[in-house]
Amino acid sequence: MSKKYSQEVNDLMASRLYPTTRSVYRQVVNVLWALGVATLGSPNLFGFISLYVTGLILLDERQNQSRITRFLPGRCHDALNRLLRVIIPSTRMVMALLITLAQSYGVKGYLCLDDVVIEKRFSKKCPWTGWTFSTSKGRNVYGLHIVVLLWCTGPVKIPVAFRLWQPKDKCAASRYRTKIQLARQMIIEILGLPFAYLTLDCWYNARWFTKFLNGCGIIWVSTLKKNTYVIYRNRKVKASQLARMLKPRWRKCLGLRAVALCVYLPGYGSVRSVVTRNGHGRWEYIVTNDLKADLTAIVQRKRSRWDIETVFKDTKQLAGFAACQCRVPQAMVRHVAFVLLTYVVLNELKVDPSETAGDVKERLQLEVIKAGGIPPEPLRARTA
C-alpha cells in the first residue's frame, strides 16, 4: 500500500473528527504505521483500525462501536461493526506484527503464560462465554476465558499470542480444546522468538505439557500444588511435607526463607525445586527443569510471572477488554486482538520511560480536554 495514498485516506478521516481529537488520532496512526498495521489490508481497513484503537484509548468505559463513533465521527458505527464482523483482518497477522516488534529489540526476554477471566454476565448467546472460576473474585462467574502469552524484557511487555477458550457445551466435541492445548498451539507459533525462559502458573504444569516444553528446549518455571507427590531421598512425599523435612534459611536479598533441592517428579523426571516461606507464613513450592539454576535465579524467574497480571489489569481498566457487545464469534476474537494492540500502542506513545500506560492515556485525554489552551493561574486564598 502506498504511504501517500494511505496518508490521503487518513487525512480525510481526520478531517471528519473534532479538532481536539485529531492530534491523538494522528499519533495513533503514526504508531500503527510503524508497527506495520498498514500491511494488513486496504487504506480503509487501516483507517478503521486506527479509529477503533483511538476510541479504546480516549474512552474510559463502554468502548463499543456506537460510543466510539459518537466521540470520533470519522465513520459511522456500522463501519466499525463490519471491521469486527465482516472485514477480514486476520488476528494471527496482527499478533505476528507484535512478534516482529519483540524481535526488533534484539535481546532475549522471557515469556509469561496465564489466562484471564472477563465477566460477561449478560452474554448468554456468545459462543465463547460460560461459567468459570475467577481467582480474583473467588467464585464462579459467567464470562470469557482468554489465554495470553506475554513477552517481556525490562519495562517492555508485548502480548505475542492469545486464544479464547470455548466451553465444552458450546462447541463440537471434535473442536474442543483445553486451555493447556491452546497454550501448546501458541508456544509453537512463537518458537522463533528469542527468550530465556517461560514462567507459568501451576495450572499449566501438566506432565505432558512440561515434557513438550522440554522437548522444545524451553526452560520453564512453575509452582506445585501442595498435594503434589514428589520423590525426595527415595521417599514419596507431598510437596507440603517437604517444608517440614527441610529448614529454609533466611535470604535477605529475596526477603523470605528458602531452600533449594533436587527432587524426582513422577511422570516427568528430575527437577530443581525451591521451597519458600514469606513473611506472612505462606509456603510456596517452585519447580523448574533448569537443574543448574541457583536459588535466587529460580525465585526471581517465578516472581516475573506477575508482569502478566499487570497487563491484565491495564487492559481491563485502560483498553476496554470487556467492552465488546457483538454476538458474532469472530467479533470477540478481533476485539481482543485490538485491545492487546491498543496496550502496545499506549506503551509506544510513552515520552518518558517512567510513564505507565495509565499515565499515557491520561496525558492524551488531557490533550483533548485542554485543546491547546493554557490553564488559568490558581486562585490565591484571601488573607485577613
Lowest-confidence region among 1-5, 91-95, 247-251, 366-370: 1-5
Parallel, antiparallel or unpaired: strands 256-265 and 249-251:
antiparallel
Give yes or no: residues 8 and 84 share one domain. yes
Which residue has 493447556 as its cell numbers?
180
Does the pLDDT at position 53 exceed 90? yes
At residue 102, the pLDDT reads: 94
Provide the mean pLDDT of the chain.
Answer: 88
274: which strand partners? 260, 286
Give yes or no: residues 81 and 11 share one domain. yes
At residue 332, the pLDDT reads: 87
Distance in angstroms (rounded) separating the CA atoms of residues 23 and 20: 7
Helices of type H across the chain: 3-15, 19-35, 43-58, 65-71, 77-85, 91-104, 179-189, 207-215, 239-245, 295-303, 306-318, 329-348, 357-370
Give yes or no: residues 330 and 290 share one domain. no
Residues 259 and 246 sit within 8 Å (Cβ to Cβ) = yes
Give yes or no: residues 292 and 239 share one domain. yes
Tens of pLDDT along 96-125?
Answer: 999 999 999 999 999 999 999 888 877 777
Distance in angstroms (rounded) separating the CA atoms of residues 341 and 329: 19
Confidence band of 147 (pLDDT split at 50, 70, 90): very high
Give yes or no: residues 11 and 47 share one domain. yes
Instruction: Look at residue 331 and tell me if it is in a domain.
Output: yes
Helices of type H across 138-275: 179-189, 207-215, 239-245
Instruction: Look at residue 363 and tell me if it is in a domain.
Output: yes
Instruction: Look at residue 196 and tell me if it is in a domain.
Output: no
Distance in angstroms (rounded) separating the CA atoms of residues 226 and 284: 8
Number of structural domains in the chain: 2
Q: What is the four-CA torsion angle of 61, 65, 67, 68, rounded to 10 degrees?
A: 90
Tens of pLDDT along 302-344?
Answer: 999 999 999 999 999 999 888 877 778 888 889 999 999 999 9
- Give the range of the structural domain holding residue 36, as residue numbers without chain letter: 3-88+326-370
Lowest-confidence region among 59-63, 157-161, 271-275, 299-303: 59-63
